Amino acid sequence: MLSEGKVLWRRAVIEAVVIVASILMAFALDAWWAGVQARQQERQYLVALRREFSVARDSLESQASRRAWAVHVAEALIGQVQGSAEAPADSLLYWSSGLSLQIDFDPPRAVYDDVIASGGTKLIRSDSLRIALAQYASQLELVRSADQQAWSTWEQRIQPFLQGRVPRVDRLRKGVAGQFSTVPFGPSPHHSQWKEILADPAFEDMVAERWLRVRIASGRLAAIAPKIDSIFRLIDKELEDH
């Protein structure tokens, strides 16, 4: 028979083993539950990111069209300076209005910013998706900067040049704004000075700069488009694997 001391010793060992096993099991359950919560949080982020990048993808085509139109009107006006067949006044007004077309690719990014700022990318298991998301902000900034420079060419150079030479009223009536709504006023009593404008080398120079800036902005947009598509596909793949 076992002595009382040995019985107590064995009981203490068993109790210690049970305690250690319970602690380890609790740790394992905690780790399992933390993993479940992390996967749930990851899925929530992925679903919300997919929604944002879906909007970004949808806006790419319209943004590309706006840039193509801005390039076209600049080329048409430069052609007038350089001796193309004289265009009617309505066309000149329409093209000059197109010079003021603002291009600004500004997709929603509230979820993206939250994921980055909160360290949520650590929850995303795909290395490829984490890297693509990390690079997206800098790529978006390149597009934003190019768009801003294209706008500043109009705002700081062309618009002041046209001020008082081409009535804004007529540009609104015959230009881009007139395509979307009824302008509630008639033609300006002041005449556009197109002959003098087209003969001024400064006008050709600034329209050429506008053309170049928009072309650069178009290139930036074209470069980010496949990256947005790639992120979208990577998100879809991760959601399928959940």
**Long-range contacts of residues 40-44, Cβ cutoff 8 Å, at least 24 apart:** 41/120, 41/123, 42/123, 42/124, 42/125, 42/238, 42/242, 43/239, 43/242
pLDDT, position 186: 85
pLDDT in tens, 100-137: 988 999 999 999 999 999 888 888 889 999 999 999 99
Contact 112, 75 (CB under 8 A): no
For helices 201-241 and 127-153, give the axis angle rounded to 10 degrees: 160
CA end-to-end distance (rounded Å), the chain? 58
What is the mean predicted confidence (pLDDT) over 14-37?
A: 65
pLDDT, position 222: 96
Between CA 110 and CA 118 the distance in angstroms is 12
What is the mean predicted confidence (pLDDT) over 227-239?
A: 94
pLDDT, position 204: 97
Percent of the chain predicted with pLDDT > 70: 84
Q: Read out DSSP for 106-148? A: ----HHHHHHHHTTGGGG---HHHHHHHHHHHHHHHHHHHHHH
pLDDT in tens, 152-208: 999 999 999 999 999 988 888 877 655 556 778 888 999 999 999 999 999 999 999
Between CA 138 and CA 127 the distance in angstroms is 18
pLDDT, position 202: 97
Q: How confident is the model at residue 28 (pLDDT cuts 50, 70, 90)?
A: low
Contact 145, 166 (CB under 8 A): no
């019985």: which residue's tokens?
7
In terms of pLDDT, which residue wins out, 27 or 139? 139
Q: How confident is the model at residue 5 (pLDDT cuts 50, 70, 90)?
A: low
Contact 158, 99 (CB under 8 A): yes
CA angle 108/112/117 to nearest 5° reads 135
Between CA 224 and CA 215 the distance in angstroms is 14
Task: Report how far Cα 122 is from the mean position of its chain's Cα atoms.
Answer: 23
One-letter amino acid at 145 equals S
pLDDT, position 36: 55
Contact 122, 70 (CB under 8 A): no
CA angle 128/59/172 to nearest 5° reads 150
Query: Above 90 in pLDDT, residue 13?
Result: no
Regarding pTM above 0.75, the answer is yes
pLDDT, position 120: 84
